[in-house]
Structure 1
Amino acid sequence: MVDYIVTVYTGDLAFAGTFNNVHIKLVGTDGVSNRTWLLGLKGPLSFYKGAVSSFTVTCPVSIGKLILIEIDKKPHFIFPEDNWFPAKVEVKSPEGDTYNFPIYHWITDSEVHLFKEGKALRVFEDDNQPGKEIRELEILQRGKDYRWDVYLEGIPHCMRSEGPSDLPYEVQFSYTKEIEFDYTAVTGMAELELEKLFQSTKNWPDMDSIHRVLSSKRTKISDYVQEHWKEDAFFGYQFLNGVNPMLIQRCSVLPKNFPVTDDMVSLGGQHTLADEMEKGNIFLCDYKRLDGLKTNNINGKKQYLMAPLVLLHKTPDDQLVPIAIQLKQTPADDNPIFCPTDSEYDWLTAKIFVRSADFNEHELNVHLLRTHLLAEVFAVSLLRNVPMVHPLYKLLVPHTRYTLQINNLARKNLISRDGVFTKFAASGGEGMRTLMKRSLSSVTYRSLCIPDDIADRGLENVPNFYYRDDGLKLWEIIHSFVQGVLSFYYKNDTEVQKDSELQKWILDIFEHGFLSQVGTGIPESFTTVAELVKFVTMVIFTCSGQHSAVNAGQYDYGGWMPNTPITLERPPPTTKGTTSETTMLKTFPDVNTTVHGMAVVWLLSKQSTDSVHLGKYPEKLFSEKKPRKLIEDFQRDLHELSEAITVRNVDLEVPYTYLDPKVVENSVAL
């Protein structure tokens, strides 16, 4: 007789333990063990939350190298059936070998569940029959559990489900996340001390009223925004380091529909626009995707959303300041070009319309589509096509955490027919659907890769561009990590080409994420290791750093409504000299619209206490020493970047923290 020592680790999550009877069967290359009831000295506490319990499984003879384990649980005659979250199982063989079986899944029934030994295996090297069969069965079941759906024609596809509770347990929020998220969603108005205002359809009577109401929940940056929102330098700064650093580009030739002349602008000294464009000192933000959108009707009033063009100048002291704003795309006598030399409220009103346009462009394109929806495509394709034992699954599944549920909630509560964004944003409703379709057509592979995107927009040398500086460093750290891991498993390009699971993953992304549009540059297949490394780097960066950059600062910059109006209630001035503080107040969104917008950005900016930050891998999915060492190197590099950002920020009037690894979540989880 020979003994196998089986150690079971139950996850340290809320309600992870079980009082059910747990059974195991070991499957090896030379035989199988009997199904054994894991009964230990701890009795019913053997599988309590966080428990580590060891048992002995006895076989007549050695069953060879272990391939897989079969686990099931049955209700005890005293205790009803419950859910269990085993983290992993370790088995020490009589030959002295230790086999690891990472699980990290909820077991919610009495069925037999099969888990393979933890060594990562690609499909063409998984050559034993039981292993092949498990692989095929797993993918078959996942294809049923994770099905594609079309929420709206013309945008990335999503996962089909009736609601959050319909999602598989493995992708649902933890109990902690669920409670905290629901609490914030329900109590957001109260936390912000706005509950008395959420039904008021009145205009704001004066600026003092806005100051009093919007000061209950403050951050250092929201205080700065409130103090400096009118200033040109801060207006320009937000295009670089606010929540939407994705629109600005260097301008070498003025658009034909933006006829700015030298006598309109002041560039200091004898400089002309042509001179400054040649030097690389002129920049453009063009909101053309918003042109002609059907706008919302809120509180019985038509709303207004412009499609501005904004020209900015880098001054000799390295500030980026606006020098001309045209609020509609087509030049006309009733579409003046506003400049800093205009009256105070003409210029301020023009900037307010730009900031409102930026809110709508940011939320639907930069935030929702380019991070949330694409992250869901990456996740669903991974879960449908790549088994748990595959190295790509082990590498990427931590970056899918909570994404499917947060997107499900967004479709239900934000962009549905009765969603908050639909009801209270200028582009809500039909305009929202149009903008999202237009936005997908603008997404290219290069625009999702920050080194390419920065180069394409001509922003390599813009000073004080911390999104670029931190983002490029973060990209390089992720790329180095991904290259190390994937090069360990893929020694040459041929191995990439013959990995059918890998090829199905990218093809699904091409078809369901980018709707088979060849012009996007998204690959339909992988032919080289380098191609694979770059794409996986993009996936991880999008799900972690990029999402943080465009999400984490929403309350910082949007908590003070005048800086980021969710909508505007009056059309822009058609002639100069017709604006005042009174017209500005009447242009701002109504009180209830304002507070609903504030509550949403508050909710979307508030991390839960069980957040997992970039580089943290509490689930030990890799068994091999090399990838584990690479994870340690990755964590070290991220720590060094975090320290450098902290030192840099000490000297900044407005610290930039959104790409600091210690605040970047591993996944789109909020």
Structure 2
Amino acid sequence: MNYVPIGLPQRARDPEARRERLARSRGEYEYEPRDPETHWLYPVPVAKRFPIREWYSPGWVLRLLPVLVPSLARRALQTGLGRAAETIGLVRGADRFRLLSLGVTRPAWVDETDALDDAFARQRLDGPCPVLLERVRDPARLAQLFASGEALARAHAPELAAGRLFAVEYSLLQRALPLRRPRDSRWRARYMAAPRVLFQQHGERGGLCELRPIAIQLDGPDAPPPNPLYRPGDGAAWYMAKLHAQAAEMSVHIFGSHLGQVHTVIEAFAMATPRCLAPEHPIHVLLEPHLRWTLQVNADGNALLRDTSSHFGTIYGGSLADMRAVLIAARSEVTFLDLELERDLARRGVAEAPLDYPFRDDARPWMTAIRRFVAAYVELFYGGDADVTGDHELQGWFLELLSPDGGDLRSLTASGRLGTREELVEVLTQVLFTAGPRHAALHYGQPDFYSLIEGFPAAIYQPPPREGAPASFDALLPPLAPAATQVHYSAIAVHRASRFGDYASSRLGKLLQARAAVQRLQRDLAAIEAELDERNRRRPRPYRYLLPSLVPASVHF
């Protein structure tokens, strides 16, 4: 095969041969038809067909086996032992979950202390889904969140005025479902509330967390009674309310923030790139290692999303159709531009506070390093803005990503166009950040938190008790089989098959023009590693999910 130099289409030595190569590549990738009658995630774009080179490599599989095989064996053994122990009365109630934690490696700081309020708050900053916290800016927002919003605004007026009230809300679980009645998604075998949690910032840095939860309501303002407001002094009811919040967060995290706003977003680029950019296009070469295996892992995920017997359909609070609806709503409610780090932090009002916010603080140096790398790479091939507008392949790529029949990302740049090198750099920076650090932050916390069933159940199995009625925590928590399934899928989430910045096996790593940019990126990542290690030594507990040595290059699991 003749060597084809990397370059822009407007400078191609043989434009006709380049068009033929692109046509062949485009023909290998096909979207699932957007038919609401047959498309299980309509209108989310899904790949119907892609070539064998997108499948898992032998190296990917070999890295997974040492994690997968022991976990499967452990699940079978522990489930069997657990059932036998329950039958003969050796374990009762929540003690059954201790059997499931045997052989599961978790950091020493993840244990039953996570039931405490400061650890509960800290999970919103460094836990498995640290992208939901918002600052409550005015009484109107409190009234939107809580049925008791006006009373809360009066009771906490000084804190509200000082900007020291924060919230996490899971109303996506309500908005996503086509309900006939306000509660008809909830009163069934697995109970799915849509809680709101209010936090108060209590002072300067110190202790495990500067936030404290001060109120939880399990339904929104429009819910019929009973819809009590739970407070820290409510004893067992307060603990029960936190469990409902944990279960809700797990559903919003897995199907919303993770699958809906990372996996399906990157799939749009994994499809549009080989369909619109010739193999020798420099942006294709740049994105290739950051899109590797994404189509295959998403195809596997789609199979689970269509199988009612899969863990997606059996361990979470809603039915499989409900969970798909959550994913679809999460994907549809935001644009690619909305998910840009600083824009997202500003929208949520958390750009500067809380003072100690590990996800935010550790993500920022990543954005700086990635932007520097991408800018240096783009300048190698685009001499100015005219090269961007004159690149018909790039412009077609941009339009396909926006198109409802393509990537359906709706907004990629503030101008709505791709007209400058700066706009191209910003789009590519966000692609690399989303595929790498953002995905790592939303994926690799699962083994540490979701393998503790008592602290993070995937579903609650009983409605909250009526006022004055006793709460049965054993009845709230899942049976042994779904609990074992939760632990298994959480445990194997440690799988990593690449490392961000290591391009030795990709065309990018062999591109002489890009060698200086790649080496600078690698030096920047080493400096970030040292910086984050130092931060972790000062933190009340380490935040390791954004350490460059642990961040893969792509969404591949």
TM-score, structure 1 normalization? 0.74
Residues in 2 aligned to 1:618 and 1:515: alpha-carbon distance in whole angstroms: 29
Per-residue deviation at 1:437?
Answer: 2.2
Q: Does 1:381 align with 2:272?
A: yes
3-state SS in 2 of match to 1:547: helix
Which structure's residues are more often helix, by fraction?
2
Q: Distance in 2 between matches of 1:536 and 1:232?
A: 39
Code of the aligned partner of 1:121: G
Residue deviations 1:345-387 (CA, integer Å, cap 9, x gap): 1000000000000000000011111111111111111111111
Match of 2:36 in 1: none
SS at match of 2:17: helix
| Aligned with residue 648 of structure 1, among 535, 543, 549 | 535
- Distance in structure 2 (CA, Å) of the matches to 1:154 and 1:186: 34
- 2:114 aligned residue (218, 224, 229): 229
Task: Tell me the distance in 2 between the aligned counterparts of 1:201 and 1:278.
Answer: 55
Structure 2 residue 54 is the aligned partner of structure 1 residue 181:
no
Q: What's the counterpart of residue 159 of structure 1?
A: 47
Structure 1 residues 520 and 352: CA distance shift in structure 2, 3 A: farther
**How far apart, in 1, do the equivalents of 2:322 and 2:258 lie?**
17
Q: 1:256/1:407 Cα in 2 relative to 1: closer, same or farther (>3 Å)?
A: closer
Distance, in Å, in 2 between the alignment partners of 1:321 and 1:543 is 32
Counterpart for residue 107 of structure 1 = none
Question: Would you say the 8 A contact 1:262–1:273 is kept in 2?
Answer: no
Distance 1:294 1:141 in 2: 42
Partners of 1:355 and 1:515 lie apart in 2 by 32
Partner of 1:124: 10
- d(CA) in 2 for partners of 1:556, 1:379: 29
Deviation at 1:201, TM superposition (A): 13
1:172 maps to which residue?
Answer: 55
Residue by residue over 1:53-73, the C-alpha shift from the partner in whole angstroms, topping out at 9 and shown as x without a partner, is xxxxxxxxxxxxxxxxx2xxx
- AA aligned to 2:321 is E
In the aligned structure 1, how far is the partner of 2:277 from the partner of 2:436?
21
Q: For residues 206 and 513 of structure 1, do their structure 2 counterparts lie closer, same or farther at Cα, with a shift above 3 Å needed?
A: farther
Instruction: With a CA cutoff of 8 Å and minimum separation of 6, indicate the structure with the bigger relative contact order.
Output: 2
- Alpha-carbon separation, structure 1, partners of 2:395 and 2:202: 49
Cα 1:505/1:259, change in 2 over 3 Å: same
- 1:294 offset after TM fit, Å? 7.7
1:509 aligns with 2:438: no
Map 1:445-456 → 2, pairs under 5 A: 445-456=336-347
1:248 lines up with 2:133 in the alignment: yes
- Matches of 1:651 and 1:415 in 2, distance apart? 45
Shift of 1:516: 4.6
Distance 1:514 1:315 in 2: 47
What is the rounded CA distance, in whole Å, between the counterparts of 2:69 and 2:452 in structure 1?
A: 21
Match of residue 437 from structure 2: 545
* Residue 491 of structure 2 corresponds to residue 602 of structure 1: yes
Q: Contact 1:200–1:591 (CA<8 Å) still a contact in 2?
A: no
**Residues 362-371 or 411-420, more deviating:** 411-420
Q: What is the letter of the counterpart of residue 364 of structure 1?
A: F
Match of 1:309 among 196, 203, 225: 196
In structure 2, the residue matched to 1:573 is 465
CA drift at 1:207 = 3.1
Aligned to 2:482: 593
C-alpha distance in 2 between matches for 1:138 and 1:511: 23
Q: In the aligned structure 1, how far is the partner of 2:306 from the partner of 2:110?
A: 27
- Which shifted more, 171-180 or 333-342? 171-180
State the one-letter code of the partner of 1:530: E
Which of the numbers 457, 464, 473 marks the counterpart of 1:584? 473
Query: Residue type of the partner of 1:590?
Result: P
1:238 and 2:123 correspond: yes
- Counterpart secondary structure, 1:311: strand
Q: 1:122: Cα distance to partner?
A: 0.4
Matches of 1:202 and 1:443, distance apart in 2? 46
Work out whether 1:340 is the aligned partner of 2:232.
yes
1:422 corresponds to which letter in structure 2?
G
Q: How many residues matched?
A: 531
1:144 aligns with 2:27: yes
Q: Are the equivalent residues in 1 in contact too, given 2:196–2:217 (CA < 8 A)? A: yes
Per the alignment, do residues 177 and 619 of structure 1 end up closer, same or farther by CA in structure 2, a change over 3 Å counting? closer
Give the secondary structure class of the aligned counterpart of 1:352. helix
TM-superposed CA distance for 1:660, in Å, is 0.9
Q: Deviations over 1:297-334 (max 9, x none)?
A: 9xx97211111111111112441111110101135441
Q: Which residue identity does 2:341 align to in structure 1?
A: I
Q: Distance in 2 between matches of 1:407 and 1:198?
A: 33
Residue 494 of structure 1: how far off its partner (Å): 1.5
Measured after TM superposition, the shift of residue 154 of structure 1 is 3.4
Q: Which residue of 2 aligns with 1:563?
A: 455
Change beyond 3 A, Cα 1:201–1:352: farther
Confirm or deny: 8 A CA contact 1:314 1:320 kept in the other structure: yes
- Kindly provide the amino acid, as one letter, of the partner of residue 240 in structure 1: L
Name the structure with the higher strand share. Answer: 1
Aligned-CA RMSD value? 2.8
Alpha-carbon separation, structure 2, partners of 1:617 and 1:511: 31
- Structure 1 residue corresponding to 2:303, chosen from 412, 430, 453: 412
**Deviations for 1:92-145, whole angstroms, at most 9, x for unmatched residues?**
xxxxxxxxxxxxxxxxxxxxxxx4334x2101011x3xx323311211111221
Q: Which amino acid aligns with 2:490?
A: V
Alpha carbons of structure 1 residues 337 and 209: separation in structure 2 relative to 1, 3 Å: same
Contact 1:642–1:660 (8 Å) recurs in 2: yes
Q: Which runs of 5+ in 2 are unaligned?
A: 34-38
**Alpha-carbon distance change, 514 to 458 in structure 1, aligned in 2, over 3 angstroms:** farther
CA, structure 1 residues 517+544, in 2 after alignment: closer, same or farther (shift >3 Å)? closer
* Residue 255 of structure 1, CA deviation: 2.6
> Contact (CA 8 Å) 2:377, 2:517: kept in 1 or not?
yes
Whether the 8 Å CA contact 1:547–1:668 is kept in 2: the answer is: yes
* TM-fit CA distance, 1:395: 0.8
Q: What is the Cα deviation at residue 264 of structure 1?
A: 6.8
Describe the shift of the 1:489–1:361 C-alpha distance in structure 2 as closer, same or farther (beyond 3 A).
Answer: same
For 2:232, the aligned partner's letter is: P
Residue pair 2:190, 2:462 contacting (<8 A) in 1 also: yes
TM-score in terms of structure 2 length = 0.88
The higher radius of gyration belongs to 1
Partners of 1:198 and 1:435 in 2: CA distance: 33
Matches within 5 A, 1:17-28: none
- DSSP 3-state at the match of 1:283: strand
Structure 1 residues 527 and 327, CA gap change in structure 2 (3 angstroms): same
Classify the secondary structure of the residue corresponding to 2:80: coil
For 1:11-90, list aligned pairs within 5 A: 70=1
What 5-or-longer segments of structure 1 have no aligned partner? 1-69, 71-114, 162-166, 266-270
What residue number does 1:325 align with?
A: 216
- Is 1:219 aligned to residue 97 of structure 2? no
Tell me, in whole angstroms, the C-alpha distance in 1 between the residues paired with 2:82 and 2:312.
Answer: 15
| Identity value in percent | 24
What amino acid does structure 2 have at the position aligned with 1:596? T
* Partner SS state of residue 562, structure 1: coil
Of stretches 256-265 and 378-387 in structure 1, the one that deviates more from structure 2 is 256-265
Aligned to 1:433: 324
Tell me: CA distance 1:536–1:240, structure 2 relative to 1, closer, same or farther (3 Å). Answer: same
- Report the equivalent of 1:78: none
AA paired with 1:442? Answer: E
